[in-house]
Structure 1
Amino acid sequence: MDPFSSIEHSLNKCRRKSAPPLPDSAIEFDLLLKSERGSTKFSKTLDGKTFYRGNATEGGNNNLVFISENAKEILQSAEELHLTSTCSSVPTVSNLKHLLVVNAIYCDHAFPVAYAIMEKKSYASYNKIIEKIREVVPDAKPKTIISDFEAGLMIALIGNFPEAEINGCWWHFCNCILKRMSKIGLAMAARNDGNVMRVIHMCMSLPLLPAVQIEATLVEIRNYTNRLQIAETEKLDMIFAYINDQWIGKIGAVHLSVYNAPRRTNNVRRSVGLHRPNAWSFIDRLQKIENQLMDDYNKYRSNQSQSRTSKCMFLARDRVISRLIKQYEAGSSKEIDFLVYAAAVVGRNVPLPEDENVSEEEDDLSSPIDAKHVLCNTISMEVKKEEIPIKREFDEECKTEPLEDASLTEPLASIESALMLANHRRKSATAPQPASAIEFDMLLKSEQWSVKFSKTLNGNKTFYRGNVIEGRNNNLVFISENTKEILQSTQELHVNATLKTVSTVPQLKHLLVVHAICFGHAFPVAFALMEKKTYASYNKIFELLKKLLPSTKPKTIISDFEAGLLRALNCTFPDAAISGCWWHYSYCILKRMSKIGLVMAARNDANVMRVIHMCMCLPLLPAVQIEAGLVEIQNHTSLQEVAEREKLDMIFAYINDQWIGKVGAAHLSVFNAPRRTNNVGDSFNIKLRKSIVLNRPNAWMFVDRLQKIEKQSMEDYFKYMSNPSAYNRCKCTFLAADRVILKVTKQYETGTSTEIGFLMGAAAAVARNVAMPEDEHESEEEDDLCPPIVNQMLVPDVLWS
């Protein structure tokens, strides 16, 4: 007997006793992996390096991610990735039902470099996992990715790797064709009739063609079948309809095609051993696979001639397919001839299944096909044919189709991720992704893409105005011909440059948006993608705007508190009254309160709260009175029995130094302004992020969204112009507060109220709409004068319109 076999059982028993307790949930599994006992043994590789990367939580779903330090080198250099998601080999932890494996291809060999144990397969979960991978390995830039045919996975890959070519797996497509054959009872006919067999193999060979030829060639196969006079024509028509609806319509020819791909499948899985191992056996197996991975990688790197070889029959098949593709590219064979010969090659390696009972259930590509998928398919087919807005097509289909699925009574967002994929294929499947701002500018001006992306959606009028270069900084400007009328007639502009939603083009990190106010409504009229926010860049952009629209003469401009932006606006529009945003100022006061630990005192002492609200109301005074108003507040505070006097003095010093001294009272004051904030820009940013769905959309998806915003802006403008009384109304609480502010302002102007009386009256109005933040640890870092929007509950969107 083998000496090891005689003691193996005892050794395994001892190992199980030394392992941590088995987790009952994903959260407990995560905690045990991070614990002192579990982290040393199971969160590291066998050579002691980091392996477990934490729980990438999305909503209520947990995703445990494993990427070793050793695998980072492979991921950084890999030009091809294969992703597959399986539910057969996962640990016995409750709710952890799926395993996502990322394989990197090197020397024709697949190396598993990342794993994620998932609770649910959704777009949001995949996106979180891939973001985690990009966080660990930011330099990963694959050129080709092969994945399963899952809409959520594909959208996540498109969003995170916009420059990669993303294809589905040919093997999965062929397997689904065979499965469908079996379900409709066509397998026996294929065994007995060589023509039926050939047609099936031709259908399976469709992905070998270029994407643009797949749909037309399916029609040719149907015509070819009719000429053969095959008995099972009706069942073959069901196969054709299945391919057209499920694959070309739903998945899309772009992701189906493997034409000239270096590899055509992602069948490179590596088993983790047991079907349903316990948590620690599973991790132990992953550690051993990772250890073997590095051994193999170092072996192949030292001797690349040892590249993995396929079976002889697969190599022979591949040589024939390559030869057929060359003949097809040379024009010596047509699509149907190519498929006839390719089918003969494919047929040698494909065993036919047995017939099953006919089932009305659709083949499962990622999840059961329900009414939602039918609706997605219908809308996808329509929006690919012509430039139909997805929302409009969704509304029309909901009117005509009986929607039994209750989830479809929800808004468009319930199926938007699937439709996003269809819309992305329609508009940008063949558009190359720019690697820089200069390349982006050249593509927008090129003959091939200018018609589609440099024009507006209604009327093909000019939208893209070119690259305004300042030094080494590029600024891509979009102003449509349609919005000229709005800009020329407006007397008020709102300018916001703190928006976070930008495209994935490197260095283009900022989005400047100009809104024009008409009929009490904000219309986005100009956009600029910027590399750096500097005075010179802002000045160049506004000079272009003035050059295009010399008659634009706003009386009022509200902008962020950026020195460069304010200076550029002063130079370009010297006659306009330029002020900052009251909301941003108030937000910074609350932020400073939180940093110095004054929030709790404000909650417990009404006098402290009143002083803070009076400080927030300083911009309501005329500019020349703001500094004196601050002194009045300080004097008023010294007469009151106020706790935390030292911290209040810190607030006073902060306002005096940062705002009155640095920003200036002239830009801080919103006295008698028609509007007191530029929060339309922040609302616009939130809507833009929700409408794009992806965190970092690619260049063409981003421009596509700007085109739609421009079109909607003009439709709204004409609607409000025909009915000005239809403009947006503020909430009752904001209107009531505004009436109080207007009342105390009139009293102040007539001399019946002093500065301190005015501030106390305004503070009472503000107090009803301002929620206090939580205290933070004090930081020496200065408050950002252009802070990101975080919690709208801190300072509402404001009583101040």
Structure 2
Amino acid sequence: MIRRAVFSKMKAAAKERADCGVKEVYSEALVTCEGEMRPHYASEDIGASLPTYRSIQASLYRARASIRPPLPQSRTEIIIAGEWDRTLGNDPFLLFDDGAENRIIGSSTEEMVKILCGVPSVFRDGTFRVVPHLFLQLYTLHGLYKGEMIPFAYFLLPDKTKETYRRMFVLLKNRANAVGATLSPSLFQVDFEVAVLKAIEDEFPLANRKGCHFHFAQSIWRKVQQLGLAPHYAEPGVKRLVRSCTALGLVPLDRIEDAWLEIDAESPSAEHPAHEKLDAFKQYFIETWLENDAIFPRDLWNHYRNFGARTTNHIEGWHQGSNRIVRKSHVNLFEMIKHLQKQEAKYSVKILMLDMGQAPEKVKKKYEDLDRKLIRLVD
């Protein structure tokens, strides 16, 4: 009888927690069942009745498979209906489903779209690790609402081309118009992905675009690694050059030219054993970030006197949190939808609490410390 009850509880958990791995569900259910039975049964009876993971693994997978449609083998086979196109509160959640092989699936609610249209700044990011195999990335749009960063819309994208990003934005703008709202943010905070920047420029010509300072620094460091300069980074002259280039993002725009001349003059000389690599690095920085016709204009990556959000790290924090919750790479489509449904429910409650006057969550101390350091740096 004990064993039958444990099996029943574990299979129910496998169905209810579709966004978690089966082994994780088993481990948690094992502890829960043992705790619930301890007051009623002898320890030896409980121990003898608890199943091993191997003995119940197949049953748990069958239980989970029983609650979802057959897994599609291509994007053209995807059918999202019933509980999968609704929120956990039974509101419409499928924002749009567009295309065949180049399918884009957008998820949000009417209320979330309306709030998104009311925030002045939109933050975007993409993640690749947990996305279903049939798609390349999970793309999200966030906004600062009453002091708290909220994910408002989620998109499964087949690739990362400008055409796909433009189509996503057009579809979203159309859905906003359909609910009586207009998506026209004054600012997009982005990373340095050319396709996204061009799509935003085309679809939101009046919006300002501001790059993420963390990604700016990350791009510079990747080039250091690509050029084989990383082994020389411990040398004071090389370290000063790389750090000074990164710090240009915090220098007043009208002083960047003079600051660069100082950086160049103080960089290691032609006698340095890695001078060819150092010259290549400086040429990269000029062509990518500095020239008037650089790939990324100065006002995109410069954050002088910007003591608001300089990075999209809080968005990446959301993605890292999702990765920890899902706990496996490339979940199937329906596991992903279930996870997004839970996220929508969580942040709908958060919005309600903010509307009722609850204070937003306190900024982590490390970000407050960073703000203070940056203020001292540029003063």
1:715 aligns with 2:349: yes
> Quick one: which amino acid aligns to residue 425 of structure 1?
A
Check 1:370–1:581 CA distance in 2 against 1; reply closer, same or farther (3 A cut). closer
Cα distance, 1:478 vs. partner? 0.9
Check 1:613–1:527 CA distance in 2 against 1; reply closer, same or farther (3 A cut). same
User: 2:75 — aligned with what?
Assistant: 437
Secondary structure of the residue aligned to 1:494 is strand
1:544 aligns with 2:171: yes
User: 2:303 — aligned with what?
Assistant: 670
User: 1:559 — aligned with what?
Assistant: 190
The separation in 1 between residues aligned to 2:234 and 2:268, in whole angstroms, is: 20
1:501 aligns with 2:130: yes
The separation in 1 between residues aligned to 2:270 and 2:373, in whole angstroms, is: 25
The separation in 2 between residues aligned to 1:519 and 1:641, in whole angstroms, is: 56
User: 1:591 — aligned with what?
Assistant: 222
The separation in 1 between residues aligned to 2:225 and 2:323, in whole angstroms, is: 28
Q: How does 1:478-489 map to 2 (within 5 A)?
A: 478-489=107-118
Count of aligned pairs between the two proteins:
348
Cα distance, 1:545 vs. partner? 1.7
Cα distance, 1:695 vs. partner? 1.9
Instruction: Confirm or deny: 8 A CA contact 1:601 1:643 kept in the other structure.
Output: no
Instruction: Confirm or deny: 8 A CA contact 2:122 2:142 kept in the other structure.
Output: yes
User: 2:48 — aligned with what?
Assistant: none
Cα distance, 1:628 vs. partner? 5.2
The separation in 2 between residues aligned to 1:653 and 1:627, in whole angstroms, is: 15
Per-residue CA distance 1:148-169 (angstroms, 9 max, x = gap): xxxxxxxxxxxxxxxxxxxxxx
> Quick one: which amino acid aligns to residue 621 of structure 1?
V
Per-residue CA distance 1:521-568 (angstroms, 9 max, x = gap): 321111111112111111111112222224333222111212221111
Instruction: Confirm or deny: 8 A CA contact 1:500 1:685 kept in the other structure.
Output: no
User: 2:94 — aligned with what?
Assistant: 464
Instruction: Confirm or deny: 8 A CA contact 1:250 1:377 kept in the other structure.
Output: no
1:613 aligns with 2:243: yes
Instruction: Confirm or deny: 8 A CA contact 1:245 1:377 kept in the other structure.
Output: no
Cα distance, 1:706 vs. partner? 0.6
Cα distance, 1:588 vs. partner? 2.2
The separation in 2 between residues aligned to 1:584 and 1:428, in whole angstroms, is: 43
Check 1:371–1:569 CA distance in 2 against 1; reply closer, same or farther (3 A cut). closer
The separation in 1 between residues aligned to 2:4 and 2:370, in whole angstroms, is: 60
Instruction: Confirm or deny: 8 A CA contact 1:720 1:727 kept in the other structure.
Output: no
The separation in 1 between residues aligned to 2:27 and 2:126, in whole angstroms, is: 43
Secondary structure of the residue aligned to 2:170 is helix
Cα distance, 1:429 vs. partner? 3.0
Instruction: Confirm or deny: 8 A CA contact 1:624 1:665 kept in the other structure.
Output: no
Secondary structure of the residue aligned to 1:663 is coil
Instruction: Confirm or deny: 8 A CA contact 1:514 1:525 kept in the other structure.
Output: yes
Check 1:422–1:629 CA distance in 2 against 1; reply closer, same or farther (3 A cut). farther
The separation in 1 between residues aligned to 2:68 and 2:369, in whole angstroms, is: 54
Instruction: Confirm or deny: 8 A CA contact 2:96 2:171 kept in the other structure.
Output: no
Normalised TM-score (structure 1): 0.39
The separation in 2 between residues aligned to 1:615 and 1:725, in whole angstroms, is: 38
User: 2:143 — aligned with what?
Assistant: 516
User: 1:302 — aligned with what?
Assistant: none
Instruction: Confirm or deny: 8 A CA contact 2:10 2:29 kept in the other structure.
Output: no
Q: How does 1:165-314 map to 2 (within 5 A)?
A: 241-242=1-2, 244-250=4-10
Note the aligned Cα RMSD (angstroms): 3.8
Instruction: Confirm or deny: 8 A CA contact 2:165 2:196 kept in the other structure.
Output: yes
> Quick one: which amino acid aligns to residue 469 of structure 1?
G
Secondary structure of the residue aligned to 1:726 is coil
Cα distance, 1:689 vs. partner? 2.0
Instruction: Confirm or deny: 8 A CA contact 1:424 1:701 kept in the other structure.
Output: no
Per-residue CA distance 1:364-401 (angstroms, 9 max, x = gap): xx9xx9996262589xxxxxxxxxxxxxxxxxx79x98
1:452 aligns with 2:90: no
Q: Greater relative contact order (Cα 8 A, min sep 6): structure 1 or 2? A: 2
The separation in 2 between residues aligned to 1:600 and 1:370, in whole angstroms, is: 44
The separation in 1 between residues aligned to 2:260 and 2:358, in whole angstroms, is: 40
Instruction: Confirm or deny: 8 A CA contact 2:71 2:333 kept in the other structure.
Output: yes
User: 2:316 — aligned with what?
Assistant: 682
Check 1:736–1:245 CA distance in 2 against 1; reply closer, same or farther (3 A cut). closer
Instruction: Confirm or deny: 8 A CA contact 1:494 1:515 kept in the other structure.
Output: yes
> Quick one: which amino acid aligns to residue 574 of structure 1?
P
The separation in 2 between residues aligned to 1:724 and 1:423, in whole angstroms, is: 41
Instruction: Confirm or deny: 8 A CA contact 1:623 1:665 kept in the other structure.
Output: yes
Check 1:601–1:638 CA distance in 2 against 1; reply closer, same or farther (3 A cut). closer
User: 1:741 — aligned with what?
Assistant: 374
Instruction: Confirm or deny: 8 A CA contact 1:496 1:512 kept in the other structure.
Output: yes
Q: How does 1:311-390 map to 2 (within 5 A)?
A: 373=30, 375-376=32-33
Secondary structure of the residue aligned to 2:122 is strand
Check 1:474–1:430 CA distance in 2 against 1; reply closer, same or farther (3 A cut). closer
Secondary structure of the residue aligned to 1:672 is coil
Check 1:487–1:646 CA distance in 2 against 1; reply closer, same or farther (3 A cut). same
Cα distance, 1:744 vs. partner? 4.6
> Quick one: which amino acid aligns to residue 104 of structure 2?
N
Cα distance, 1:597 vs. partner? 3.8
Normalised TM-score (structure 2): 0.78
Cα distance, 1:578 vs. partner? 0.6
Given candidates 412, 418, 425, the residue that maps to 2:63 is 425
The separation in 2 between residues aligned to 1:435 and 1:370, in whole angstroms, is: 30
Cα distance, 1:694 vs. partner? 2.8
Check 1:371–1:453 CA distance in 2 against 1; reply closer, same or farther (3 A cut). closer
Secondary structure of the residue aligned to 2:282 is helix
The separation in 2 between residues aligned to 1:461 and 1:595, in whole angstroms, is: 49
Instruction: Confirm or deny: 8 A CA contact 2:130 2:326 kept in the other structure.
Output: no
1:692 aligns with 2:311: no
> Quick one: which amino acid aligns to residue 488 of structure 1?
C
User: 1:570 — aligned with what?
Assistant: 201
| Amino-acid identity (%) | 22
The separation in 2 between residues aligned to 1:438 and 1:377, in whole angstroms, is: 45
The separation in 2 between residues aligned to 1:687 and 1:554, in whole angstroms, is: 26
Cα distance, 1:640 vs. partner? 12
Cα distance, 1:684 vs. partner? 2.2
Structure number with bigger Rg = 1
The separation in 2 between residues aligned to 1:480 and 1:401, in whole angstroms, is: 44
> Quick one: which amino acid aligns to residue 434 of structure 1?
P
Cα distance, 1:709 vs. partner? 0.8
Q: How does 1:1-20 map to 2 (within 5 A)?
A: none
> Quick one: which amino acid aligns to residue 611 of structure 1?
L
Per-residue CA distance 1:634-679 (angstroms, 9 max, x = gap): 1243799988554433221121223342233232223333211112
The separation in 1 between residues aligned to 2:186 and 2:271, in whole angstroms, is: 45
The separation in 2 between residues aligned to 1:728 and 1:485, in whole angstroms, is: 25
User: 1:651 — aligned with what?
Assistant: 281
The separation in 2 between residues aligned to 1:560 and 1:741, in whole angstroms, is: 20
> Quick one: which amino acid aligns to residue 188 of structure 2?
I
The separation in 2 between residues aligned to 1:491 and 1:697, in whole angstroms, is: 33
> Quick one: which amino acid aligns to residue 509 of structure 1?
L
The separation in 2 between residues aligned to 1:610 and 1:428, in whole angstroms, is: 60
* Unaligned ranges ≥5, structure 1: 1-240, 256-365, 379-396, 406-414, 445-449, 748-801
The separation in 2 between residues aligned to 1:533 and 1:485, in whole angstroms, is: 26
The separation in 1 between residues aligned to 2:119 and 2:153, in whole angstroms, is: 13
> Quick one: which amino acid aligns to residue 209 of structure 2?
I
User: 2:104 — aligned with what?
Assistant: 475
